[in-house]
């Protein structure tokens, strides 16, 4: 006679597999050594599979995408943590920053003042941003927005721009292009407080070397600085306002983009949750075994090992991976 499958029939198997009891000698199947090895192998595959994305594609536009989409958020997080008002993104400032970034790429320089003598304030004026105070942060060669923000915060002049209470608005351009013979990412971050409602794209002669106005004098909270022992390495991509004109990504590029931007945080959460569950189950099993008078050295070692693995997995993140990739970086603030 065919046996009818019911939940009641399944209960003994589930108990044997997941609950410490005499039938499994107080050692559930899913916590036995061979399964713990499977979990470890799965962990290694999930956490290490992301490495090729970073090492094989460090100069792709996906890193620049990350910068352009998160730098403003990171800046505002820094300001909120110190009780400062957040900065509002201004598309005219973004346009000005993009124009400055393109000029640096096209004329192969990395400086606040162009070889033609154009100061940062020229780009504010050219885009029609009439400011009371203004500032500029530059970065080049970075692969990740968090890396850029950390470098700026480690520099007093750049941090002064990031945290200045005088600024109300922000615009950022991230551009990818050829700089001194190498592909790199260049970031221009403009800060400002408007004096009046700006007018978009006034007719200004590019030949003028900056502008002087008795009522519009930019603040200069910091001085130029650069990371010690490094040289520039370029990269580029339009800021937020230029994204609409970007070419549609191919399927391989979309897969790489997912690997760079989404895979690591997603798997980090999943792995952490599973490790917490596994550690909890091992500790519970250990207490049940001790209550039954069973001393299991394997359980103690397994519990200790997975606790250490959980701690390690929280250090093995994207920032650590990026820090291992050889790349030259420079920052500049005014």
Handedness of CA 53, 59, 62, 66 (dihedral sign): positive
CA distances from 241 to 69, 248, 263, 268 (A): 11, 16, 26, 31
Half-sphere exposure of 122 (CA within 13 A, CB side): 19
Is residue 189 in a domain? yes
Query: What pLDDT is attached to residue 222?
Result: 36
Q: 170 in a domain, yes or no? A: yes
* Residue 55 falls inside a structural domain: no
pLDDT at position 321, please? 57
Q: Tell me how far apart the alpha carbons of residues 260 and 253 are, in angstroms, rounded to a whole number.
A: 10
C-beta atoms surrounding 13 within 10 Å: 10
- Token pair for residue 102? 């393109």
Whether residue 97 is contained in a domain is answered as yes
Structural domains in the chain (count): 1
Quickly count: other Cβ atoms within 10 Å of residue 237's Cβ. 24
In a domain, 185, yes or no: yes
Beta bridge partners of 78: none
- Is 228 inside a domain boundary? no
Contacts of 231 (CB under 8 A, 6+ apart): 328, 330
Return the CATH number at 154.
Answer: 3.40.33.10
75 is a domain residue: yes
Range of the domain at 103: 68-194
Distance CA 209, CA 207 (A): 6
pLDDT given at position 13: 83
Contact 204, 145 (CB under 8 A): no
Task: Give Cβ neighbours of residue 81 (< 8 Å, ≥ 6 apart).
Answer: none
At residue 228, the pLDDT reads 30
d(Cα 311, Cα 304) in Å, to the nearest integer? 11
Query: Looking at the chain, how many residues does it have?
Result: 334
Could you list the pLDDT tens digit for every one of the 334 residues in the chain? 455 556 666 778 888 888 888 888 888 989 988 999 999 998 888 877 766 655 555 444 444 454 566 789 899 999 999 999 999 999 999 999 999 999 999 998 999 999 999 998 999 999 999 999 999 999 888 777 888 888 889 888 889 999 999 999 999 998 888 888 888 888 999 999 998 654 555 443 333 333 333 333 444 333 333 333 222 322 222 232 233 233 444 555 555 555 555 666 677 778 888 989 999 999 999 999 888 888 888 889 999 999 998 887 776 655 555 555 555 555 655 6
Q: Crossing angle, helix 264-291 and helix 33-48, to 10 degrees?
A: 160
Give, for 257, the enclosing helix (H) or strand (E).
helix 251-258
**What is the full DSSP assignment across 184-200?**
EEEEEEEEEEESS---S
pLDDT at 170: 94
Residue 51: count of CB within 10 angstroms of its CB? 13
Could you give the CA distance from residue 43 to residue 244 in angstroms, rounded to a whole number? 38
Is the residue at 308 inside a domain? no
């Amino acid at each position: 006679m065919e046996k009818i499958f019911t939940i009641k029939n399944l209960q003994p198997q589930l108990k044997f597999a997941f609950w410490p009891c005499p039938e499994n000698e107080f050692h559930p199947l899913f916590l036995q050594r061979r399964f713990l090895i499977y979990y470890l192998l799965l962990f290694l595959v999930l956490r290490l599979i992301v490495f090729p994305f970073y090492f094989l594609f460090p100069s792709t536009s996906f890193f620049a995408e990350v910068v352009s989409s998160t730098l403003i958020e990171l800046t505002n997080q820094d300001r909120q943590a110190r009780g400062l008002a957040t900065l509002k993104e201004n598309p005219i400032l973004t346009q000005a920053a993009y124009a400055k970034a393109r000029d640096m790429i096209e004329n192969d320089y990395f400086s606040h003042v162009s070889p033609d003598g154009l100061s940062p304030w020229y780009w504010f004026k050219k885009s029609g941003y009439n400011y009371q105070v203004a500032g500029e942060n530059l970065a080049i060669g970075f692969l990740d927005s968090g890396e850029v923000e950390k470098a700026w915060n480690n520099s007093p002049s750049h941090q002064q721009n990031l945290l200045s209470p005088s600024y109300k608005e922000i615009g950022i351009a991230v551009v990818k292009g050829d700089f001194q013979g190498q592909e790199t990412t260049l970031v221009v971050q403009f800060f400002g407080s408007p004096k009046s409602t700006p007018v978009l794209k006034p007719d200004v002669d590019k030949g003028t070397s900056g502008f002087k106005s008795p009522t519009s004098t930019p603040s200069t909270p910091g001085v130029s600085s650069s990371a010690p022992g490094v040289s520039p390495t370029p990269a580029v991509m339009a800021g937020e306002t230029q994204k609409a004109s970007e070419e549609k990504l191919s399927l391989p590029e979309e897969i790489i983009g997912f690997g760079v931007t989404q895979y690591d945080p997603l798997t980090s959460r999943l792995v952490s949750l599973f490790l917490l569950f596994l550690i909890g189950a091992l500790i519970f099993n250990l207490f049940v075994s001790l209550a039954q008078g069973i001393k299991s050295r394997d359980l103690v070692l397994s519990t200790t090992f997975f606790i250490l693995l959980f701690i390690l997995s929280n250090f093995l993140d994207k920032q650590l991976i990026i820090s291992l990739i050889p790349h030259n970086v420079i920052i500049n603030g005014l």
